[in-house]
Amino acid sequence: MNMHELYMKLALENAKGTKGQTTPNPQVGSVIVNDGRIVGIGAHLKPGEPHAEIHALRMAGEQAKGATIYVTLEPCSHHGRTGPCAEAIVAAGIKKVVIAAMDPNPLVAGRGVKILQDAGIEVIQGICEAESVKMNEVFNHYIVNKRPFVTLKSATTLDGKIATHEAHSKWITSEQAREDVHRIRHESAAILVGVGTVIHDDPQLNTRLPEGRNPVRVVVDSHLRIPLNARVLTDGQAPTWIFTGSETNEKKRQEIEDMGAKVFATDGQRVNLEQMLDILGRHELSSLLVEGGGEVNASFVSQGLANKLVLYLAPKLVGGKEAPTFLEGLGAVTMDAATQLSDLTVEQIGPDLKLTAYFPKSMK
């Protein structure tokens, strides 16, 4: 490992601790080195607050002059909630900038680098690039597609069941696995279930972690069947958004909205998932955790709307052809038509296995 990689990995570590805090912005870390000494470090903590480079520059002070700054993402060049970082780097007298990954937005990629180079600053690109891109998979998808990055999450027995044939599902996995799920919820901008889950389980869809952040709760409910006493409508723990079809019950809709929830009607009798994702994207919800039943999951997969799968496998067998699986619907006709996932990783959490894989990149 050379010195550039060493300092960039430190910058990446600074950024990794902010997962879930920065949405819809990326995770970014920065390190400033002068004469072999680290004189400044920083990370972007939340939208509207200074970017990683600014925190590092403030820490470095006068020692930034003639120094090298390491940053995990190309310094921004535009005026948004904060000023352009590229201009701040120039003003601080930095002599060299080392970048892990370029800005994924094709409309602005390269502009930050151009500002730096036009000022006579040496720029090195591509150090630990793959790690930076992986860390910002949510932002990279969102900034290009203007839709949230969709993760399907499910917990099943070894024979793929999410409940018994009598709909009993508490609990399939261990406490350790369920705690890991709450960590993922904390890192997600929104969480989605179908109305069937609300009716049968009355979930809170919150994050049960110390200082955990609750995501926006999204319910797919084509015919507004949600009970008015459902906890997602009454507990006030997080915003709740109901997506329904075009032929909605206006009286029920008004009752739901009077309780503080939002109701969005999409085209058609059933919820149009693509329109729903567009709406979530317009509201800057960059990631969506789908904790639906088999039919909801199948809708996302069959329409090519899922990006990532997180599957917890418990060492249990339920059996029964009537017991539901995490992916229902008609399914593939042939093995050639099966959805091929990639980049599979397996992690043991307590007695359970956590499988993570990615859907084809051709998916939306």
Known binding-site residue numbers for NADP(+): 155, 169, 171, 197, 201, 222, 293-299
- Residue that has been written with the tokens 């910002």 in this structure: 136
Question: Six-digit token pair at 344?
Answer: 């599979």
How far is it, in rounded angstroms, from Cα 90 to Cα 336? 54
How far is it, in rounded angstroms, from Cα 335 to Cα 195? 31
Write out the DSSP string of 59-105: HHGGGGTT-EEEEEEPPP-S-SSS--HHHHHHHHT--EEEEEE--S-
| Cβ-contact 286, 23 below 8 angstroms | yes
How far is it, in rounded angstroms, from Cα 174 to Cα 178? 6
Specify the amino acid at residue 310.
V
Across the chain, the runs of DSSP E, i.e. the strands, are 29-34, 37-43, 68-73, 96-101, 122-125, 149-157, 190-194, 216-220, 240-244, 262-265, 287-290, 308-314, 342-349, 352-358
Specify the amino acid at residue 276.
M
Q: 49, 53, 74, 247: which one is catalytic?
A: 53
* Residue 185, SS3 per DSSP: helix
Which segments are annotated as binding site for substrate? 185, 205, 208, 291
Q: Is 53 a catalytic residue?
A: yes
- Residue that has been written with the tokens 């995990």 in this structure: 72
Catalytic residues: 53
